[in-house]
Copies of this chain bind each other. A is one copy, B any other.
Amino acid sequence: MIPEATVARLPVYLRALTALADAGIRTCSSEDLATAAGVNSAKLRKDLSYLGSYGTRGVGYDVDYLRYQIAREIGVTQDWPVVIVGIGNLGHALANYSGFRSRGFRVVALLDADPERHEEIVAGVPVRPFADLEAIAREHAVAIGVIATPAGSAQDVADQMVAAGITSILNFAPAVISVPDGVDVRKVDLSIELQILAYHEQRKAHEHARVDADDHGAAALAVGGDA
């Protein structure tokens, strides 16, 4: 049983290993890989220890071997079929995204409720009616669905996906969706990320204001610290 926090970092390690392999590096230490992945080396080693003992003390890790082991653990040694629902601005970008194929996923269908969008072909895949979801999902044994519709439709789309046998959903719509037990949902939310940045940005601004005030001889001792 691998901790959730570790699972979330394995894809980062996988990418870093791929970059190292592309650079012709065949062996790396936990320190090297940690730097490439942007984490602490102790954390990296502990994470890898959950998978097994794939390194060699005094030497490090074989890049290709470790890469295969992580890919196997994640489950991306074969391709996963994926459907995308909502082929608007974002849906088009996702459909055109070449990184899907190279990272273990294959877009088998693009679906949209708007009849005007049907017959359009995006990145070689035709846009089909949303009503075809279940047939397509069953035919290709699709387990993963991506929601790129407006927020108001997200719950309905999720319900239909679940009914079609999809058990993992990636939701780009800014809406909380509820699903039965056994179905995983992850969300990607631009506005939330920006607002988190804005919060910290605002704190930096306040901090600067305080420091500036100090510089100008204001009553520094009267201003409380951060702690």
Contact = CB atoms under 8 A, between A and B. Distances in A.
Interface string A69-91: 00001111000101000000110
Contacts of A186: 193, 196-197
A157 to B, nearest CB: 16
Majority secondary structure of chain A interface residues (helix, strand, loop or mixed): helix
Contact of A199 (B16, B75, B82, B201): B75
Interface stretch (A55-63, A124-132, A170-178, A211-219): A170-178
Q: What's the number of copies of this chain in the assembled complex?
A: 2
A75 B195 CA distance: 8
Interface residues of A, number: 60
B99 A200 contact: no
A80 B201 contact: yes
Interface string A29-61: 000000011100000000000000000000000
A21 to B, nearest CB: 15
A194 B38 CA distance: 20
6 contacts: A7-B200, A76-B198, A89-B96, A90-B97, A104-B198, A105-B191
